[in-house]
Amino acid sequence: MTNLNLSSNELGSKLIGSSWNRSRYIVQTRLSPDNGKYFMPCLDNPRFESVFKFTIHEIPADSHVQYTNTSLVVAQESHREPLSDGRIAIRYVPSPQISMYQVGFHHSLFSNIRAASKYTNDTIVIWAPTQDIKSCYYLLNFGQSIIDMLHEYSTINRTLVTGPINIVGIPANVHGYEIASWNLLTNNVIRILYKPEFISVKQLDEMKFELTQQLCRIWLSSPGEPARTRWKEEWFKEGVASYLAYYFLSQYDGASQHLLHRTLSQYGLEMKHSAMLHDLHHTTPPLVSFNKELAVNIPWRYKELVTMKTASLLWMVENWLGSEKFHQALIKYINSRRGMYISLEDFMASLDHDTVECSHQFFNGSTASRILNSWFHHSGYPVINVQVLRRGNVDIVQLKQAIYRISPDDKRI
């Protein structure tokens, strides 16, 4: 177990002084696998996991110090203990066994609003500056709806995490939530507030997608689970989370009768076009080349490739198998692997087993695993050239396949 003692004497000192700008009002961690080791130098392996125990010391009231009312860490508060020098020690229960970059805390003068799921004790809490908290109700209600959809989809009464899911808006230029976080989610404050007079439709779509994708990641597996579910290929988990995010967004818009309601087919075309945009160049690697990479370590230029290509392939298989058959197989597989390892090979074998009598049989007896393997192990997109040959009253269709990519001289071949 690793003990972290955080003193507000040290934290508070950052908030003292005439040069302090009032718009900078928080102390916040946002660790990455490569830089988390500098937070605690003895733990320099991003795959190393430990149990962390937090203690925060609050100093006595002082008119010269800006105080905070928010203290969030990766574990639940245990108790508060007054000390002889007037400080208060806030002690937290030991965290789950997690990696260094999943450790986080937040200290600020923020207000919060919260909503609970109607199925389990899952609670979503949004923290923001008091003057902006009213603009967070849209995201709060939306997040609650997605959590309820996740519970309905999973068909079992199971909480996502132990304790609330805290969403914190921070004044930093970050894009999206941390992949490995589960109950302390930080994002750029402008991607959390909903102000109709300033926000565009595209911004609203990004706001909803990012939160839905993150909640899907948590549902698929999170370090805060009582029995940890682990994915051997994290890029594959990212693709499944992205596909499910679009699936739930289409369900949400349909249920709310949104004027700009888009179906999963429309989202599917967006996924496909985005994936093709990032998969054109001849140097683009196949998806399985990321098998040993942590999701947070995948190079930024391949993030869209990994998420959108995998998601669009799952959407393609769903169309072939039939939506009901595909989702029944997916839910059954995820529920059966709770607390165990999930692998790409195991998933495809389970999908073959549960969809052998699919409503739309593959040509030449092909299975879902054979189709997916051909896409996962090769880069680019195959292009089918179709030529119809007429011989009397008989039409013959001739198919030729070529690789769709861009050559060094910028010609498509």
User: What are the tens digits of pLDDT across the range 328-337?
Assistant: 999 999 999 9
Q: What is the mean pLDDT of residues 66-75?
A: 67
CATH 1.10.390.10 residue window(s) in the chain: 112-228, 232-242+262-380
Alpha-carbon distance of 354 to 367, in angstroms, equals 11
Q: Model confidence over 252-261: pLDDT tens digits?
A: 987 766 666 7
Instruction: Report, as an integer, the average pLDDT of 51-73.
Output: 72
User: Mean pLDDT over all residues of the chain?
Assistant: 81
Distance CA 225, CA 146 (A): 19
Contacts of 93 (CB under 8 A, 6+ apart): 53, 75, 76, 77, 78
What tokens appear for 152 in the block? Answer: 């309905």
Residue 64: strand, helix, or coil? coil
Ramachandran sector of residue 153 (left: φ over 0; alpha: ψ -120 to 50; beta: rest): alpha
Whether the model pTM is above 0.75: yes
Cα separation, 162 vs 223, in Å, equals 10
In whole angstroms, give the CA distance from residue 235 to residue 292.
9
Greatest alpha-carbon pair distance for the chain in Å reads 101
pLDDT band at 106 (very low <50, low <70, confident <90, very high): confident
Distance between CA 195 and CA 347 in Å, rounded?
42
Q: 203 and 187 in contact (C-beta within 8 Å)?
A: no
Q: E strands of 83-179, at which residues?
A: 88-92, 97-99, 105-108, 111-116, 123-128, 165-170
Q: Which DSSP helix (H) or strand (E) runs through 5?
A: strand 2-7
Question: Residue holding tokens 């074998």?
Answer: 349
Dihedral of alpha carbons 6, 7, 8, 12, sign:
negative
Give the Cα separation of 154 and 218 in Å (integer). 13
pLDDT, one tens digit per residue, over 196-226 is: 888 888 889 999 999 999 999 999 998 888 7
Contact indicator for 222, 182 with CB cutoff of 8 Å: yes
Q: By C-alpha distance, which of 146, 210, 144 is closest to 179?
A: 210
What percent of the chain has pLDDT above 70? 82
Q: Is the pLDDT of residue 362 over 60?
A: no
For residue 372, give the H/E element and its range. helix 368-376
Which residue spans of the chain are classified as CATH 2.60.40.1730?
Answer: 1-109
Homologous superfamily (CATH) for 112-228: Neutral Protease Domain 2 (1.10.390.10)
Residue 247: is it exposed, middle or buried by C-beta count within 10 angstroms (0-12/13-18/19+)?
Answer: buried
Q: Class assignment of domain 232-242+262-380? A: mainly alpha
- pLDDT of amino acid 102: 82
Residue type, 90: I
The CATH number that domain 1-109 falls under is: 2.60.40.1730
Question: What is the C-alpha separation between 280 and 283, in angstroms, rounded?
Answer: 9
pLDDT of residue 142: 95
Q: Which two tokens stand for residue 397?
A: 């269709």
pLDDT tens, position by position, 76-105: 788 899 988 888 888 888 888 888 878 888
How far, in whole angstroms, is CA 318 from its chain's centroid?
21
| Of 204, 202, 129, residue with least CA distance to 168 | 129
Lowest-confidence range among 9-13, 247-251, 271-275?
9-13
- Residue 348 burial (CB < 10 Å; 0-12/13-18/19+)? buried
